[in-house]
Amino acid sequence: MFIKKLKGCPEFIAGDDSILRELLHPEKTDLKIHYSLAHAKVSPGQSTKPHKLKSSEVYYILQGKGLMHIDNESEKVSPNYAVYIPPNSTQYIENTGKTDLIFLCIVSPAWKKQDEKVMK
């Protein structure tokens, strides 16, 4: 059985400026998985930098309100929303609420730094 507690995962600032804690990654565990799972946080009034991944990604919103941008489309998101982000799409998310925007990021195949392009 494999169980990992969020508090045991170091917090860091990702390339897109979100605050991340990586829960699962095939290169960092003995698990036979092909995806990565991270917990992300964006502070009120902040947004991530536009970026692209070679992999597909899903955001699952846990807390807060935001505006998700994928290519030329934008939609409001809030708790219990799942957002599919196709590979090679320009994406970013804005926190439009008064509390932290917290969501899970599932990347498949697993996230790799060389597969991400952050626009500045």
Query: Is 62 contained in some domain?
Result: yes
Per-residue pLDDT of the chain (120 residues; tens, 9 = 90+): 999 999 999 999 999 999 999 999 999 999 999 999 999 999 999 999 999 999 999 999 999 999 999 999 999 999 999 999 999 999 999 999 999 999 999 999 999 999 999 997
CB 2 within 8 A of CB 31: yes
Give the whole-angstrom CA distance, residue 120 versus residue 117: 10
Cβ-based neighbours of 37, under 8 Å, separated by 6 or more: 22, 23, 24, 25, 104, 105, 106
CATH code (residue 43): 2.60.120.10
Give the whole-angstrom CA distance, residue 71 versus residue 40: 21
Domains: count for the chain: 1
- Regarding beta strands 101-108 and 56-63, do their DSSP bridges make them parallel or antiparallel, or are they unpaired? antiparallel
Query: Is 39 contained in some domain?
Result: yes
Q: Which domain holds residue 78?
A: 14-110
Query: Is 5 contained in some domain?
Result: no
Query: Is 118 contained in some domain?
Result: no
